[in-house]
Amino acid sequence: MTNQTEIATQARKEWMGLLARAPDDALMTLWDGIQDRPSFEWLRSPEVGGVMVRGRTGATGAPFNLGEMTVTRCSVVLQDGTVGHGYVQGRSKPKAEVAALIDAMMQTPAADDLQARLLDPLQQQMQAAKTTRAAKAAATKVEFFTLVRGED
């Protein structure tokens, strides 16, 4: 039982992280292609706030406050009682709403269809953008070398 709960929790972390990092336009374009959207009620309507971002020097040092970041959050409940939460970077209330709806839908039997039609293409788009960005950075790489000067 615990193992399945851990697997479900990890899967939810992955799709919520994907939705939080996704570019607004890419997510909204894919969401527009989803026709069978469930009706819902607000548990918490979209609201904008700030969170403190913490960091660690060298990923192992003592944590320190790096700065604040704007986030938008909301929570919805579907007609069947499934609750979804959306936390996204920035001030996009529509994106937070969509993220919460997708989170809720991913906990229903519609999850496989939504995974194939929205989350997988979104992941592929984001991976392609990351690969392109890495290729551009690699193209600017400069190899430095030194010649040993002989001293007589």
User: In the numeric block, which tokens belong to residue 9?
Assistant: 């929790």
* Mean pLDDT within 78-102: 95
Cα–Cα nearest to 97, from 58, 46, 137: 46
What confidence tier does 117 reach under pLDDT thresholds 50, 70, 90?
Answer: very high
* Mean pLDDT within 73-99: 95
Phi–psi pair at 67, nearest 5 degrees = 160, 180
- CA atoms of 120 and 16, how far apart (whole Å): 13
CB 59, CB 66: distance < 8 Å: no
- CA atoms of 85 and 13, how far apart (whole Å): 11
